[in-house]
Amino acid sequence: MSDSDRTVVRAVRDGNHEAFGDLVARYQGRLFGLILMMVRQPAGAEEVVQDAFVRAYTHLDHYDDARPFYPWMATIAIRLAQNWLRAHGRTVHREGDSLEGADEPRAAATALNALLSNERDRALWDAVAGLPQGERMAVTLYYRDEMAVGDIARALAVTSGTVKTFLFRARRHLRERLPAGTISLGDTT
């Protein structure tokens, strides 16, 4: 956990409840992009992210400040997104099935375009948005959010081996979908 995150958490625990707004400002966009990759609806992603921050705030006493804050926050958001998907008639696919609905990948990619600044990144993340659920989440958490494999495994409620498999398959799928030289995803797991 960065010293600034640690300072904010301590401040909130000591009664400065407004300080939590610093964590919201720091991680809201990042969590929104992550959850949008799952739920594929901007309004649903906003709802889940807001609920995740409320949940984190009310359970901040359960947070272990020896660990990084973002993976803890992402785990809360991912679990809430899984609940949201179930409540909205979708299932969470772990073994490579993509979410149902013809317009969903296109809608997620369109919403992500607003978050991406250059064309190369946009092409990469458009391709990531089209990956099966498990692969999409593993790639997003590992490469974009720089989370460790163990933290990703905890967030997705799978084993570290499953996360490594998701990353391996995702790299293979991305190499097939993107022009040569577009990306360089080494086998870093």
For the chain, what are the domain ranges? 3-177
Q: What confidence tier does 103 reach under pLDDT thresholds 50, 70, 90?
A: very low
Q: What is the CA radius of gyration of the chain?
A: 17
* Torsion on CA atoms 104, 108, 111, 112, rounded to nearest 10: -170
22-59 per-residue burial string, b: 16 or more CB within 10 A, e: under 16 = bbeebbbebbbbbbbbbbbbbebbebbbbbbbeebeee
Q: Does residue 100 carry a pLDDT above 50?
A: no
- Which CATH class name applies to 3-177? mainly alpha
- Structure confidence by residue, pLDDT tens digits, 144-189: 888 999 999 999 989 999 999 999 999 999 888 887 665 555 544 4
Q: Does residue 107 carry a pLDDT above 60?
A: no
Query: What's residue 55's pLDDT?
Result: 96
pTM exceeds 0.85: no
